[in-house]
Amino acid sequence: MGQLYEMTVQRFTDHLKFEKRYSPHTIDSYGNDLGQFYAYLKEQFGETEVEGISPAMIRSWLASLKENRIGSRSIVRKISSLKSFFKFAMALGFIPKNPATNITTPKINKRLPVYVEEAQLDTLFTHVDFPDDWKGKTERLALEMFYETGMRLSELVHCRESEIDFANRAVKVLGKGNKERIIPMGERLLGRIRVYREEKRKVFGQFDEKYLLVTEKGKKTYPKYIYRAVKKYLGMVTAINKKSPHVLRHSFATHLSNNGSPLNDIKALLGHSSLAATQVYTHNTIEKLKNAHKNAHPKG
C-alpha cells in the first residue's frame, strides 16, 4: 500500500474511532473497503498514492464489483466509505478535491426493519427463566435495557453507572458523533438497575465501578458477550432469522410507532440525525393498516 495512502487510512480510522466514536464493526468495514479498493488499484494501475486517484479509477473498481456480482447494498456502502475517506483526505490538505464526489450511488430497495413482536418479548421477560447466577442477571438486564431504551450495542457496553439518573428516571447516552441524548426509563427497569448495582458491590467488592454492566470477572462487558446473549434468548421466543441487539432497537422503535408515538419523538430517542432514517418505522404501521383493510373491508 502506498505510504501516504496507508498513513491517511490510519488517520481516518483513528478519526472514526476517537472523534466520531463509531463501533469497532463499522470501523472494520471502512478499513476493509479501503483495503480492497487499494488492492484493486495496485493490481490494475500499479502503486498509486492518494493524490493520484481519479474518478475513472473508482468507476473501474465499481464496475469490477458488479462483474463479480457484489450486491448493490454492499456497493453503496463501499461508495460511502470512499466518499468519507476522500473528504477526510481533502480536509487534511492531501488532495485538492474529492474524486468520489460525482460517483453515482445505485438505488436499492429499502428493507423494512426486522423486529420482535410485543407478545414474544412479553414471553421472554415474563416466562423465560434466566439463570440466577451473575451471567444470567447481566444478560437479562442487558436485554431489558436494549428493549426499553433503544440503545445501540456500543452505547450499552459503554454505559456508566454515573449516567443513570434515578431522580429524573432517565439515562444519558453518548451516541454517534459524540452526540448526547437523554432517554426516559421506567421505574421497574430502574429498580432492576438498583438491585443489580447493589449486588455487584456485594459479589465483587473492589472493582471498576465506572461501567454499569460487568462480566462474571467484574470486568466491563464487550460487544461479543452481549451479542451472544441476545442471540441465545431471542432464539427462545422468535423464529426470525436475524437475532441481534439491533433487532431489539428496531423493536423498541417499531412498538413506539405502532402505539402512536410521534416520529420526531422516536427520532430523538434513537439519536438519529435525520428524520429520513426514522421514517422507515412508519412502514410497519402502514403494512398493518393494509392488512387490516384487506381482512376487514368488504372491498379489501
Catalytically annotated residue among 11, 17, 87, 246: 246
Q: Catalytic: 299? A: no
Q: Catalytic: 140? A: no
Kind plus residue range of the DSSP H or E element containing 59: helix 55-67
Q: Catalytic: 176? A: yes
Torsion of CA 170, 15, 37, 108, to 10 degrees: 30
Q: Catalytic: 77? A: no
Catalytically annotated residue among 5, 30, 147, 281: 281
Q: Catalytic: 158? A: no
Q: Catalytic: 281? A: yes
236 and 124 Cβ atoms separated by less than 8 Å: yes
Q: In the chain, how long is the greatest CA-to-CA distance?
A: 70
100 and 55 Cβ atoms separated by less than 8 Å: yes
Catalytically annotated residue among 137, 249, 250, 255: 249
Which residues make Cβ contacts (< 8 Å) with residue 118, sequence separation at least 6?
255
Catalytically annotated residue among 152, 220, 243, 267: 152
Burial class (CB in 10 A: 0-12, 13-18, 19+), 115: buried
43 and 133 Cβ atoms separated by less than 8 Å: no
Q: Which amino acid is at 240?
A: I
Give the length of the chain.
Answer: 300
Q: Which amino acid is at 38?
A: Y
Cα within 13 Å of Cα(113), Cβ side? 25
Residue 280 to residue 261: CA distance in whole angstroms:
14
- CA dihedral (192, 197, 203, 207) positive or negative: positive
Catalytically annotated residue among 17, 176, 231, 283: 176
Burial class (CB in 10 A: 0-12, 13-18, 19+), 170: middle
Active site residues per annotation: 152, 176, 246, 249, 272, 281
